[in-house]
């Protein structure tokens, strides 16, 4: 686990001084982790993190590399996940998408809203850059591990960029808006009208109860930066929301993926049991839509799992990690 940091420390989490010629430098997670900036079209920037002991054990690149993609208003702070894959002989990487976590400052300095873009389709560029870096390191197979919004972005990217990913693991993916059908229709219609004229209008707020419950300071097990994974309600802007709803509709029509996919969910959705159920999304939506991804989709339920299954309480956390590692071993 990482230590909590104030805002000043957060601003210096990525060293301002030049790193080695290849761009890699020590990461805020400490020994065993490095990070580097990924330049993107238009001057944007994402950040790739790697677990260095897993990349080339024995001097040769690991055959399989795993790339973790976080959710909305989130970032990579999960060293235990990296070590679980490393123990199985797989290289581990994670990307902080533009505007999130390690990629926050460059996005905001360019005038962007923290954690937000006008269209989530642009994240395909972030995944392109991360995949190119990983393939360039000599790994033969790439597994993309997407959580929540990352679990929406990853399959759409894999469908549009056939051959770049060899398998997908989706941890509580955001396949559908967490609301009843009439409200979903109304929200989508409002977004289509409002986004062209007021793209930054705030239409909702991300609740703070779930992130707060996870944090060590509030009875949880995890220490993370509350500026990067907010404890306070976070604004949702209409252009971003419209793009999410469009992406969800595209996915719901079916993707015909020709790679194996594993979709994992908690066993239930509740309103307030943040550490032992999904309090962010409806697991029934995930299970209903998952078969539309392709012909080789496996569904798995983790009893007592939190929204981010990798941050669940034991033994659900260990069950999730074991299930994913075993599936990757068998499928890739």
Residue 222 sits in a domain whose CATH number is 3.40.50.1820
Percent of the chain whose predicted confidence (pLDDT) is above 70 = 91
Confirm whether 102 is domain-assigned: yes
- Mean pLDDT over 233-255 rounds to 94
Could you read off the pLDDT of 8-49 as tens digits, one per residue? 333 334 443 344 558 999 999 999 999 999 999 988 999 999
pLDDT at 18: 43
Domain of residue 45, residue span: 7-331
Confirm whether 26 is domain-assigned: yes
> Which residue's structure tokens are 């999960």?
78
Strand-pairing partners, residue 263, are: 170, 299
pLDDT at 141: 99
pLDDT band at 177 (very low <50, low <70, confident <90, very high): confident
- Mean pLDDT over 48-74 rounds to 96
Confirm whether 2 is domain-assigned: no
- Given a cut of 80, whether residue 242 has pLDDT beyond it is yes
CA 265 to chain centre: 15
pLDDT at 181: 52
Buried (b) or exposed (e) across 302-317, using 16+ Cβ within 10 A?
bebbbbbbbbbeeebb
Confirm whether 255 is domain-assigned: yes
Confirm whether 28 is domain-assigned: yes
- Given a cut of 90, whether residue 57 has pLDDT beyond it is no
Q: In angstroms, rounded to a whole number, what is the distance separating the alpha carbons of residues 24 and 21?
A: 8
Number of domains in the chain: 1
pLDDT band at 81 (very low <50, low <70, confident <90, very high): very high
Percent of the chain whose predicted confidence (pLDDT) is above 90 = 79
Confirm whether 1 is domain-assigned: no
Q: For the chain, give the mean pLDDT.
A: 91
């Amino acid at each position: 686990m990482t230590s909590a940091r104030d805002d000043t420390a957060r601003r210096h989490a990525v060293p301002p001084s030049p790193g080695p010629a290849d761009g890699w430098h020590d990461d805020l997670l400490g020994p065993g982790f490095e990070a580097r900036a990924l330049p993107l079209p238009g001057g944007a920037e994402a950040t790739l993190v790697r677990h260095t002991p897993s990349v080339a054990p024995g001097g040769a690149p690991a055959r399989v590399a795993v790339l973790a993609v976080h959710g909305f208003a989130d970032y990579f702070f999960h060293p235990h996940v990296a070590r679980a894959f490393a123990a199985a002989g797989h290289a581990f990487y994670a990307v902080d998408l533009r505007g999130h976590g390690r990629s926050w400052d460059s996005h905001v300095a360019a005038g962007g809203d923290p954690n937000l873009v006008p269209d989530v389709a642009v994240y395909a560029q972030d995944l392109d850059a991360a995949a190119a870096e990983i393939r360039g390191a000599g790994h033969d197979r790439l597994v993309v591990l997407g959580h929540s919004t990352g679990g929406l972005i990853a399959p759409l990217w894999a469908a549009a960029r056939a051959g770049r990913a060899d398998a997908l693991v989706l941890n509580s993916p955001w396949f559908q808006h967490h609301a009843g059908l009439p409200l979903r229709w109304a929200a989508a219609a409002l977004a289509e009208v409002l986004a062209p004229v007021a793209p930054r209008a705030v239409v909702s707020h991300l609740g703070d109860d779930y992130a707060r419950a996870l944090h060590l300071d509030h009875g949880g097990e995890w220490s993370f930066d509350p500026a990067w994974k907010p404890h306070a309600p976070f604004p949702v802007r209409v252009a971003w929301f419209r793009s999410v709803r469009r992406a969800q509709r595209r996915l719901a029509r079916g993707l015909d993926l020709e790679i194996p996919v594993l979709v994992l969910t908690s066993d239930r959705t509740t309103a307030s049991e943040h550490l032992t159920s999904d309090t962010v999304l409806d697991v029934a939506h995930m299970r209903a839509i998952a078969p539309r991804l392709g012909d080789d989709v496996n569904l798995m339920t983790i009893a007592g799992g939190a929204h981010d299954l990798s941050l669940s309480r034991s033994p659900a956390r260990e069950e999730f990690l074991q299930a994913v590692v075993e599936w990757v071993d068998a499928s890739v």
